[in-house]
Amino acid sequence: MNYPHIDDLPVHERIHLQQQIVTQLIDRELIHAEAARLDVRLSPDEFDAALTGIRGVHNHEEFEQNLRDAGIIPELWRESLRFRLLISKITQTIVSPRIEISQADMESYYHDHREDYQRPEEVRVHQMLLESREAALEIKKHLQDGADFATLARQHSLSPDSAEGGLLGYFAAGALPPEFDAVIFSLPLRQVSDPVASPYGFHLLMVDRKRNAGQRPFAAVTDEIRERLYQEQEEVLLQQWLKELRENAEVMIDWEKILPRSSR
């Protein structure tokens, strides 16, 4: 994506952007200074571990080339990552201990957001993946003669879930590819489908349970609600902490020197 040069922006947009940049630079300096005062530091090992996790299977050269291909300067990206990790460490040190989430808070959130915890109709799906349609039809014949689905899945399925007897789990409509959806929501319970083609081969599908749509109980979503409230409080308290830093700092900005005459 090609962004306009700052000099090509209308004057009011240019001023707003320049003010944003200056404010961000000041915030960054305030945060660095406060982190140093509190002796909150990011060790080289912590940075390297985070970088390795983000880089994944790519080596150093491949990852940096991917950044360049995306129009990102690797050195600036690493500096941005270092700052984000410092913010995370400050949050853990200063903000997180202030977070309090009570049972009443969670119950109130659940009551106010019940629509977020509606469970759609779901079916529990088992599958076998075979190399050819003929192989799938042969396995289906054995199943119709009374063979056990899980046993044959462990013996013949090419899918990683073969170790679990082909169990995929519960799925709502739309969670699987359309060609699978059309089959699993029309199959009678415990009946094996005809072979379903995919880029991986031919699948035999079987549904052994259905779960009706309904309200997920509070006890089942407590952890989700706690995590959501935790993140919300964390962000609010972090912004509050940053606001206090700004208010307690003596910062002088000479906009006459920062903004070009054409921007005033």
Q: Could you tell me which residues come within 8 angstroms of residue 222 by beta carbon, excluding any fewer than 6 positions away?
A: 106
The confidence score (pLDDT) of residue 261 equals 55
For the record, the structure tokens of 104 come out as 């009443």
Q: Could you tell me which residues come within 8 angstroms of residue 98 by beta carbon, excluding any fewer than 6 positions away?
A: 237
Decide which of 212, 240, 255 is a domain's last residue: 212
Residues 256, 207 share a domain: no
Q: Establish if 106 belongs to a structural domain.
A: no
The confidence score (pLDDT) of residue 118 equals 92
Whole-number Å distance between alpha carbons of 73 and 160: 39
Question: From first to last of its 264 residues, what are the pLDDT tens digits of the chain?
Answer: 455 566 667 777 877 787 888 888 889 999 999 999 999 999 999 999 999 999 988 888 999 999 999 999 999 999 999 999 999 999 999 899 999 999 999 999 999 999 999 999 999 999 999 999 999 999 999 999 999 999 999 999 999 999 999 999 999 999 999 999 999 999 999 999 999 999 999 999 999 999 999 999 999 999 999 999 999 999 999 999 999 999 998 877 777 766 655 555
Residues 12, 93 share a domain: yes
Residues 96, 14 share a domain: yes
The confidence score (pLDDT) of residue 249 equals 85
Residues 143, 191 share a domain: yes
The confidence score (pLDDT) of residue 1 equals 46
Claim: this prediction has a pTM higher than 0.85? no
Residues 131, 50 share a domain: no
Cα–Cα distance list, 228 to 106, 231, 234 (Å): 10, 5, 10
Residues 208, 126 share a domain: yes
Residues 227, 191 share a domain: no
Domain extent for 171? 121-212
Residues 97, 228 share a domain: yes
Q: What is the rounded (10 degree) CA torsion for 166, 171, 176, 180? A: 70
Q: Could you tell me which residues come within 8 angstroms of residue 132 by beta carbon, excluding any fewer than 6 positions away?
A: 201, 202
Decide which of 169, 191, 212 is a domain's last residue: 212
What CATH number corresponds to the domain at position 128?
A: 3.10.50.40
What CATH number corresponds to the domain at position 15?
A: 1.10.4030.10
Q: Establish if 186 belongs to a structural domain.
A: yes
Q: Are 187 and 198 in contact (CB under 8 A)?
A: no
Cα–Cα distance list, 258 to 15, 24, 205, 254 (Å): 10, 14, 67, 7
Q: Establish if 254 belongs to a structural domain.
A: yes
Residues 150, 96 share a domain: no
Whole-number Å distance between alpha carbons of 160 and 164: 9
Q: Could you tell me which residues come within 8 angstroms of residue 6 by beta carbon, excluding any fewer than 6 positions away?
A: 14, 17, 18
Residues 128, 75 share a domain: no
The confidence score (pLDDT) of residue 15 equals 77
